[in-house]
Structures are given as C-alpha cells and as structure tokens.
Chain A
Amino acid sequence: MVSTHPAGTCPHKDAIWGVSWTPDDRVLSVSADGTIKQWDSGSGQVTRAGPRHPLGLTSLSTSQDGRYALFNSVEGLTQMWDLQSGNIVGKFESYARPTSGQLEPSWSVSLHPKATTYASCGGSGNVLVHSTEPVTFGQHRATLSTGRARFGLCCAYSPDGSRLALALETGQIYIFDAQALEVTATYTSHAMSIRTLSWSPDSSLLLSGSEDKRLILHDVRVSPSGKPGSGAVASLTGHSSWILSTQISPDGRLALSGSADKTVKVWDLSARAAVSTVQDTGEVWSVSWRPNPSGANVSGAFVTGGEDGHLRWWRAGGAA
C-alpha cells in the first residue's frame, strides 16, 4: 500500500471516529473534537466543515448517493447534513425526555441507503427507526426488539435497504427484516463486543469486527424458502488488538480493517487471508474504500482516520 497526499493541513484536533468516501469523490470525517469535515480526494484538503459541537462525534453514516450525511454525538445529538445545499436539515436530541414512545440516547446511527429513514441503537439493545423528514426529523417510527437488554454498539442498514444488522456489546449479531420489523437471524460467533459491521454490496455477506481481535464473515443470504444464510463462513485473524472498523470493498472481493494494534489490514475474502498490512501511529478508528472505482489509476484506494486526527489516503501500489 502506498500513501498518497501528504497529511491535510486541517487535521482534526482529536481522534477521527468515522470516515466515509462518497460517490462524488469526497470524504467525510467525524471526530472526537466535535467537528464533521468534508475533504476533496483529489487535493487531500478540507473543503467544508460542519458546525462545531462541544462534545465528540461518535458515529457517521452516508446515503448511497452521497448526498446526505447523518452523524451522532456522544450524548446523542443526531444531525443530518444535506451536502448539496450545505444545510443541516435535521436535528434530534435523542437524550431529551421522551413525550411518547420509546426513546433512548442514540449511540450508533445508520442512514437508510435512500435516506428515507434512519436507525439508531443504544443502551436498550433495541434498534429504533426514526423519520428523516425535515419537520419530523428523529421522530420514532418503529422499534426492532431483540429481547435482550444489552448495549447495542453498532447498527447498519443493508445496501438494498431491506434489512438491518445490530451488534451487541456481548457479541451477538441480530438481523432484522426492516419491513416486517422482526428478527430473521441471530449469530453468536463472537463472545466479546462487536464494534463494527459491514455489509457486502449485494447484501449477501456481513463482516463483523470484534474486541476478540477477529473479523468474522457471515453468509446472510435469505433463501426463497425463508431459511437464513449459513452464518459464519470465515474467520480473519492476524490483528493483535481490538478491531475498530471494517468495510468490504465495492467489488466485494477485499475487506479493510482498522485496529487498536495501530495497523490497517487488507484482506482477500476468497483466500481468507491478509494481503497487506499498513502501520499507523495510533489506533485506527475508521476506514473507508473509494466507491465505484473507475479508470485504471484508482483501483483499491481507501482512506483511514485514526487517533492522531489526520486523514490518511492510500492506494494499492501498482495500478491494476
């Protein structure tokens, strides 16, 4: 892996906890310093910054077309940024006392690929679905319940929008049907906290990264008979500390993982092995592939954000 671009001139002042490379070739980053920034991938520089929040931003999720960015702060202030207009189009205080329905401070948030709703998880172990309409932003629409009162660390909509995955602090993964609002599959491949989830682009695989230092690939295809997929099909080992973030590549062949062992690994999913390891200076909290690689010189590019607040740009050495 080769690093491109020198470190940006406006790094974040604290750890970068979420990154997302959007189809318009820009990157969004959220940080413990309370800011969300937009970067141009050509120059590696910051082009825009959102309003500064007094507390750290812990979660970031973008719509499939890259138009909307949903982000959440540590105490549960969820906001949505319309990147076309540049305005904040939604603000929700999930920590405020609820007037009706079940509410809890949001921890991790996930925007529906078409930005029609968003999902959040937190202390209750349930997934709450919220409205993204400007007037009713954040309003509770549905609850997906696991029946287990354990902290939900991570939730993610599948790319086709039909399902939601939830990972708990105790290591279980729940898959919900987003329409029927029911659990369709449960996996207990990890016994320790799962901090990151990634769906494959065709929504057939789910990759989970855990504090047990492993990534596990799950087959989650829904067969016509309704039988859930076979579950854990591969275990990727090699990191020496917690897995903090992971993402499957746009062509589904590779996966990225950032770890508390201060390295980033690129894995070949069919070979179930790491093909590259990159050394960073601190914990690597967030990773994101470049979507839709087109043209010979941009295959396998990705961006990482870590403890030192610098965004790092990488591409595979030797163009494909």
Chain B
Amino acid sequence: MGENVDRLRPTVEDEYDDTTSEGSTVNVDPKDEAVDGIEALVLSFLTQLDSALKPEETQEVGSGPTRSKKKIELRIANRTKQARDGTTTVRALKFPQRFRYASSRPFAQLFRVMDIVHEAVINEVPVTKRDIYYRHASLFKTQATVDRLVDDLAATFNVGRADLNVRASPKGLLCGSCIQIRLEDGNVITPSDSEACLIPHAEDIAVFDVDPELSWVLIVEKEAVFQTLCSSEFTRLPEIGRGIILTGKGFPDVATRVLVKTLASNLPETIPIMALVDGDPSGLSILSTYMDGSTAMQHENDKLAAGKRIKWVGIHLSELSRLGVGKDSLLPMTSHDEKKAMSMLLHDAPPYPDTWRKELVHMLHTRRKAEIEILASAHSDNSKHSGCPVQPLLSYLVNKISLFSTNATID
C-alpha cells in the first residue's frame, strides 16, 4: 500500500545538506524553498501517476485494460495537531477515494493553489488569498479552503506565508505620533495622534522609528473603542505621557501580530504594553492570540507570539462592582460563550493563567459577560485629578495606564 508514497522534498533536503555540512552558514532563500517544494510535490504526483498507469507485468494477454489498484498519496502538513516531539504531523491526500463526489477535487484545489503560488513567487508579483479564491471560485467553493491550503503549504515547506508571496489585506489600525514606519520602497508612514493608519504588511516594512518619549502601548480589541480614543487624542494626554494605540479589529491579522511582537521584543521593559479586551471568553481568546499565537499559525509562533510582556488591563468582571457598574448592565452569555469558556477552562496544554480562569469561572457562574462599552454606565467618582477626562472609559484607562507605568518602572 505504501510503495508509491513520497515524502516531502527529499531531494531538496539532500542538496542543501551537502552545502551546510561543511560548517558554513548558507542562507537558503525561503522563496526558493517554496518553489522547490512545490516542484517536488508535483514531481512526486507525476511519478506516482506514471507508476500507477503502467500496465501490470503479470497481466494476462487479452484480458483488456484493468483498473490499477494503486493509489496516489501526497502528504502535507497538518497544522492542527502537534506530534509529541514537537514536529508537525502530516495528513495525506489520497486519490482515488470512495467518495460520492469526484475525489479528484482536493487534488485539483491543491494544485491550483500551488500553480498560482508558484507563479507569484517566480514572477515576484504578490497575490492575496482572496485573489486566489476568485481566480477559480467554482473549484474552491469557499474562501476557507484557500486559506487552509495556503497555510498548509507554508507549514509543509516550513516557510512563512509571506515567502509564498501570498498576503492578506491589512486590517489592523495604528494611532500615535511617537512611531514612524519606514517601508522598503522608501515611503514613510507617520500615524498622527488623531487619525489612524493601516498597519502595513511585515514584509513591506524596513524599520520602525520610535520616539524616545514613548511611554506606553495600548492594544484594544474593538475598532469602535479605538476610534473613540483616537478622536480624543488619547495618545497625547498630559496625565499619562505619550503613547501609541493599536487594534486588530477583533482577532488580529498577521501584520498586527508582527508589529506587537516587534514592539514587545525591542521596547525597554519600562514601557508597558497593555491590552484592553471585552470581559468575555472571546476577549481572552484574542489576548491569548497576541500572547501565545494561534493554532493556525503555530509554525510561525516565534515571529508572532509576544509572550508575557503583554499586560491584561481589563475588562475584569471582578472590578466592575468597584467601578459602580450594576449587575443589570451585564450582558447574558450566549451558549457559544459558554462553550468557549468551558473549553478554555479545560485547556491544559499549557493551562491558562489563574487570573484568567478565575474570571472565566465567575463569568460562567453569573452567566454574564461585560463588554468594554459597559464602562459608559459606570458612575465613577474616581476622577482624582481636576484635569481628568470625565468620560468613564478615558478615566478608567488613565488610572490603569498610570498603575501599569508605575509598576513597570519599579520592576
């Protein structure tokens, strides 16, 4: 059964092994790896096809053409499972299979994606996942199929998605005049304190310039909150010093995560990097994506996971009664929230921090969650300074940022 199965890029590995065994560091261009990987997979397919179609030698004369019993099998990475020793597991695409519909479709989809990606890399013209989908929508049926195949290919060849020359449209927003982004093509992006700009793709960025006056970084989950802060020029409030705010508009895309990771790795420890998310299971899930990465992009975690540097500012259910928010302002949990909360509580590889689990248990017990907007209903007499903004969200954040800034300098 297994005689026609081919492992991924065996020849490619051998080639490069020779050059690196001398001890010299040869920089292998990942784009070349991608091209070689694609070509190797195609070769493997063609080899198996050829072998399957060869007539059997023991065939009796005159018995007519018989169906070959051989199967073609291609293996690509399975990103959702991790083998015990940390290597990526593989899943196999087999042809033919006993499906009701034509079993050639998965192969056709894979090959079409490989075709487009191959062209993109060779011609140096980037494509987006949406482009790929629309080039042959009837074959792919859903965008998710394309997304999955592209990421699987990247994981199989052990390259980043950007090395396949496939990119997503940028989603994240950035605001604050303390940072400038210099692009590879020479342009410079200068976000202001009152207007947001899109966070560009990591591969287009040459360098970040950060003003030494920068004293805090805030990540917010929702665009609406981001816009409120932006229009109040929150990054320039005298009480807390200058800062930058960014949002991934929900679950962050790769470009946003790369920016956060870069800031986390390079800014001095005295500058707190804080996250404000909804007090519900998906808020915590988003926080976890910034800190620990996502299952889909596990293979690129070292570029994307910002780690413990990110501080969870709020919303904590446990602080709401102190802030004067009544229980009736809380939103009921949906069954989706419940399932998510339970699965996060029972998740143990690695388990979430105790503070998160405590909040999730309280959410489940009260069967309520809190969105950031709930602060608007808080009757706070927390304004300590006369110049402090009256709007509850702003005063909440001013207090938190002052707290985290002090703690950061003490550490």
Residues of A within 8 A of B (CB): 14-15, 17, 32, 54-56, 58, 74-75, 123, 151, 153, 169, 193, 211, 241-242, 260, 282-283, 307
* B362: A residues at CB distance < 8 A: 15, 32, 56
Interface centre among B335, B345, B361, B362 (most CB of A within 10 A): B361
Does B321 reach chain A (CB closer than 8 Å)? yes
* B364: A residues at CB distance < 8 A: 74
Residue of B nearest to A213 (CB): B328
Given contacts A56-B361, A283-B321, contact A75 B327 (CB under 8 A): no
Given contacts A241-B327, A260-B327, A282-B321, contact A56 B365 (CB under 8 A): yes
Report Cα–Cα, A307/B358, bound state, in Å: 13
Does B326 reach chain A (CB closer than 8 Å)? yes
Given contacts A32-B358, A242-B327, contact A75 B365 (CB under 8 A): no
Count A-B contacts at CB 8 Å.
39
- Digit string of B348-390 for contact with A (CB within 8 Å is 1, else 0)? 0000000001100110110100000000000000000000000
A-B contact pairs, 12 of them (CB 8 A): A17-B365, A32-B358, A32-B365, A54-B357, A55-B357, A55-B361, A74-B364, A153-B367, A211-B328, A241-B327, A283-B321, A307-B321
Distance between A125 CB and nearest chain B CB, rounded to angstroms: 13
Given contacts A58-B365, A151-B367, A260-B327, contact A75 B346 (CB under 8 A): yes
Does B398 reach chain A (CB closer than 8 Å)? no
Q: Check B321–A14 contact: CB distance below 8 A.
A: no
Chain A contact residues: helix, strand, loop or mixed? loop
> 8 Å CB contacts to A: which residues of B309-347?
321, 326-328, 335, 342, 345-346
Distance between A56 CB and nearest chain B CB, rounded to angstroms: 4
Give the contact-size bracket for chain B: 10 to 19
Q: Check B345–A74 contact: CB distance below 8 A.
A: yes
Report Cα–Cα, A58/B367, bound state, in Å: 12
Q: Check A169–B361 contact: CB distance below 8 A.
A: no
Q: A74-B364, A241-B327, A283-B321 are in contact. List 13 more A-B contacts (CB 8 A).
A: A32-B362, A32-B365, A55-B345, A58-B365, A74-B345, A75-B345, A151-B367, A153-B367, A193-B367, A241-B328, A260-B321, A282-B321, A307-B321
Report Cα–Cα, A151/B364, bound state, in Å: 12
Distance between B88 CB and nearest chain A CB, rounded to angstroms: 29
Residue of A nearest to B364 (CB): A74
* A169: B residues at CB distance < 8 A: 367
Q: Check B327–A74 contact: CB distance below 8 A.
A: no
Residue of B nearest to A283 (CB): B321
Report Cα–Cα, A153/B332, bound state, in Å: 14
Report Cα–Cα, A33/B335, bound state, in Å: 24
Report Cα–Cα, A74/B364, bound state, in Å: 8
Report Cα–Cα, A55/B345, bound state, in Å: 8
Distance between B332 CB and nearest chain A CB, rounded to angstroms: 8
Interface centre among A56, A123, A151, A283 (most CB of B within 10 A): A56
* B328: A residues at CB distance < 8 A: 211, 241
Report Cα–Cα, A58/B364, bound state, in Å: 10
* B326: A residues at CB distance < 8 A: 241
Report Cα–Cα, A75/B341, bound state, in Å: 10
Residue of B nearest to A15 (CB): B362
Q: Check A75–B342 contact: CB distance below 8 A.
A: yes
Given contacts A32-B358, A55-B357, A283-B321, contact A74 B346 (CB under 8 A): no
Closest 10 CB pairs of A and B: A56-B361, A260-B327, A74-B361, A242-B327, A74-B364, A58-B365, A241-B327, A32-B361, A55-B361, A55-B345
* A54: B residues at CB distance < 8 A: 357
Report Cα–Cα, A74/B328, bound state, in Å: 22
* B342: A residues at CB distance < 8 A: 75
Report Cα–Cα, A15/B321, bound state, in Å: 14
Report Cα–Cα, A55/B364, bound state, in Å: 11
Given contacts A75-B345, A241-B326, A242-B327, contact A14 B365 (CB under 8 A): no
Given contacts A56-B365, A58-B365, A283-B321, contact A14 B358 (CB under 8 A): yes
* A241: B residues at CB distance < 8 A: 326-328
Distance between A289 CB and nearest chain B CB, rounded to angstroms: 23
Report Cα–Cα, A169/B335, bound state, in Å: 13
Distance between A257 CB and nearest chain B CB, rounded to angstroms: 15
* A14: B residues at CB distance < 8 A: 358
* B335: A residues at CB distance < 8 A: 123
* B365: A residues at CB distance < 8 A: 17, 32, 56, 58, 74
Report Cα–Cα, A169/B328, bound state, in Å: 14
Distance between B354 CB and nearest chain A CB, rounded to angstroms: 9
Report Cα–Cα, A283/B368, bound state, in Å: 15
Distance between A71 CB and nearest chain B CB, rounded to angstroms: 14
* A75: B residues at CB distance < 8 A: 342, 345-346
Distance between B180 CB and nearest chain A CB, rounded to angstroms: 46
Residue of B nearest to A76 (CB): B342
* B327: A residues at CB distance < 8 A: 211, 241-242, 260
Distance between B317 CB and nearest chain A CB, rounded to angstroms: 11
